[in-house]
């Protein structure tokens, strides 16, 4: 049996709460963009962090955007398809695994503080500067997710 993809008219959509966030909160929005742009990290690692955190936070806007950016930057479908199961997947490097573990711990703070073992593994994989960049990347995407989820931002239809 062949699956048929839904047409855009089949989608159930909600109305964004703030239709034009960059216009309504111009300075705040641009400050967030400047902070995001200040992070110095390999683009592929940044995409993995952005996507995994967005998966955890249920941010459809960011998932759509970062999946497209990752593919445009050469990320493979196989790695994107297995990212949610990165612990079991053989397709991620030790440094990517350390960053993803830290990303999950920082995103799930309701589970408790970031475990020493998770932080220590990240510190083994990255020098101090790179580790701070990973931490800022995780912080930035969590902030973007909270903005987009709260305002119910919708990705563009293609």
Q: Is the CATH number 1.20.1290.10 carried by domain 21-151?
A: yes
pLDDT at 76 over 80: yes
Q: Provide the token pair at 69.
A: 């950016």
**Which one is predicted more confidently, 5 or 15?**
15
Tokens in use for 3? 């699956």
pLDDT digits (tens, 9 = 90+) for 23-67: 999 999 999 999 999 999 999 999 999 999 999 999 999 999 999
Of 26, 83, 56, the residue nearest 145 (C-alpha): 56
Query: Alpha-carbon distance 137 to 40, whole Å?
Result: 9
pLDDT bin (cut points 50, 70, 90) of residue 16 is: confident
Tell me the domain boundaries of the chain: 21-151
> What confidence tier does 142 reach under pLDDT thresholds 50, 70, 90?
very high
- Mean pLDDT of the chain, nearest integer: 94
How many CA within 13 A on the CB side of residue 125? 21
């Amino acid at each position: 049996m062949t699956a048929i993809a839904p047409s855009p008219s089949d989608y159930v959509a909600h109305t964004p709460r703030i239709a034009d966030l960059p216009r309504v909160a111009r300075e705040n929005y641009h400050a967030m963009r400047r902070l995001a742009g200040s992070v110095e990290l390999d683009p592929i690692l940044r995409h993995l962090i952005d996507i995994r955190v967005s998966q955890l936070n249920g941010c459809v806007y960011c998932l759509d955007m970062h999946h497209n950016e990752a593919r445009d930057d050469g990320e493979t479908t196989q790695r994107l398809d297995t990212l949610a199961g990165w612990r079991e997947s053989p397709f991620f490097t030790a440094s990517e695994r350390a960053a993803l573990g830290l990303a999950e711990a920082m995103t799930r703070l309701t589970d408790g503080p970031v475990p020493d073992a998770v932080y220590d593994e990240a510190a083994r994989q990255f020098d101090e500067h790179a580790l701070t960049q990973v931490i800022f990347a995780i912080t930035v995407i969590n902030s973007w997710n909270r903005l987009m989820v709260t305002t119910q931002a919708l990705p563009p239809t293609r």
